[in-house]
Structure 1
Amino acid sequence: MTAVQTALMLTLSTHFALSKSRLSSLVALITGLAQSRTVNLSHLASHLPGRALPASHYRRLQRFFQFVRLDGDRLAVLVVQMLNLQRPKCLALDRTNWKIGSTDVNILMLAIVTRRFRVPLLWTLLPHQGCSDIGQRIALMRRYLALFDASSISMLVADREFIGAEWMDFLSENNIKFVIRAKIDMTMTLEDGRAWSFQSLLRRKRGRRNPAIGWGHLSGTFAPARHPVNFAAKRLKDNEWLIVVTNRDDPRQALNDYRKRWAIECLLEDTRIRSHDKLSCLLVVVTLAMVWAYRCATKTMGRKAIRRKTHGRREKSWFRIGLDALRNWISNAPENAADAWLHNAPNQPQARPKI
């Protein structure tokens, strides 16, 4: 057994109840995913150790996804521990939808967004195409709150799909600060009791240099929201209004906070797996590979910042630096790859981190 395999099995064996054979397959999947940069099982099978025929390796992976179910909630705790994210953090809510043949794959995902990291944390595979409903969003947030305290969330950011009076009341009642983009046709009930759409409120505002701000109760399906929200709006370069609603005190700052949102760059679209249980298992594998890459980036860069190019953007993302290092180390310096994974890695599962 190589140093890399030993390192991963040491940590993962204490967090996932798997036989030695299944655990070995999980480790091979994580390392293979990093090396091949694909979730296609045919490509991943070529990275399995041993002299068996490719068809046998492929069948081994098929059996893994057929019989193994990895606990996504336990993964969330492991991600926070591995990336040392105990301090309050920004969460981003997003959804992605694509088709495999005639089958819709629709994932509602909660991710951690920091200055360096963008990593999936919890998700739900929706049984339909299109937008999530309020009940599904609340259920996902309840899963988070069962694992972590509400004080662990510095802010939740989300796009226009995730608007709604009942949903934002739930967040406010659970002490979760949020910044969510609003649709221009949504209605606010102001202090004087009159209801206005954002389109009417902003009709005479230029909003390019000085954002328009205000507060009120967002109109819901059956009644206005119980908790008031602030809003801020500014015109973008294409003349479209960017409107955000927030329960934070400074609505102007919320416009900057909204920039921290994260759109899912789904890594599963190269798979042919359709089963929700199997896809969820694959997402756990992808997330573990991402965590490993981020740890390699930290080992490579330390406290240094990534150099900016003349246009102002970073030369590379933190993830790309880590992935490049990880792929190189697995092949040429396995002790570095193993050390990046093991450094301060939790060898005992922790049920509920104290934030």
Structure 2
Amino acid sequence: MLDNGKINSRQAGFLMFSFLMGSAILMIPSTVTSLAKQDGWLSVLIATVFGLGIVLIYTTLGLRFPKQSIIQYSEMILGKWIGKIVGLLYIWFPFHLGTLVIRNSSDYVASTALPDTPMIVISGLFLAVIAYGIRGGIETLGRVNEIILPFREPIVLLIVVLLLKDMKLGKLAPLLGDGVLPVLKGSFPVTSFPLGETVLFTMLLPNISNIRKLKKAYMFAIVLGGIFLTLSVISTLLVLGPSITSRLNFPVQSIIKVIDIADFVTNVDSFGMLLWISSNFVKIAVCYYCTAVGIAQWFRLSDYRQMVTPVGILMLIFSMTVYENNIEQSTFAATIWPFYAMPFEVLIPLFMLLVSIIRKLDGRGRGK
């Protein structure tokens, strides 16, 4: 069997929220401020609205085929051969995204805590732990995330509170100083990374028990994720200002290092590292799981677990070669990824939704 595990819509929404936080909360502040400067936080709010639209598209499509993933119902909607090609694309997308997040996580750990440790060792340990987790199925991931979440996010809010004395409101001025266009430009990369990447959660539909509440749960996750991402951008801008924020690879980590309360509460950046690693764990796990399950569905295998080890090895190899350095990675994320990812996130699901409506197809692949 592929995976008989079940999670409810609340657990699916929590998984999506952790997926959104992942590497995005580390990288989004520098990405949006390089385009929208002090108005970067507005870009995130606009992107959140676009993200809700994307969720509406792929959940409306998925709920027409509630017992199947996007790889399975693409054949019903588009025919066997075109559907097979589309299915292959949705195996590649989580695989590619997962390798990018693995490399980003390894770069982050190496630069902040383990500078002398070979990158392949860090990435290999990440993947070994995650491989063990996804062998337990989506139910294991959902429960582990649900346990971690109540401890993780309050610490994020505590960090913001501890930074209040170092924040200067003047660093957000002038509002819309360069007009609306830079804000809209800044919203584009945030829409694709990370909000649009949640299209991978169409793979989880067959494993969700109370699927009627799914759309509300996914939209809540997008709104909550948008709030936390906006908070991260505002915090970095208020502490560092737009000029410094736009030049840093991990500006959130930099502002955590600023925390100093009466020479008593200091050096808390290790907490930040643990927070972001736990979020990245979920994002990599979802990508890893979707790739393994997707391959099993594409080849009509009886058990996705036999794909876990080979997929992990390939992800490790690709993560070592996906880009040369952080500068290349940042450039790719800000300028190329939004255009590269948009067909996967919006165009293909929207096209399939329209075709399924025109052909009046339901989950059994025939007219209603």
Q: Which structure's residues are more often strand, by fraction?
A: 1
TM-score class, shorter-chain normalisation, is under 0.3
Greater relative contact order structure (CA < 8 Å, 6+ sep): 2
TM-score by length of 1: 0.25
Structure with more helix by fraction: 2
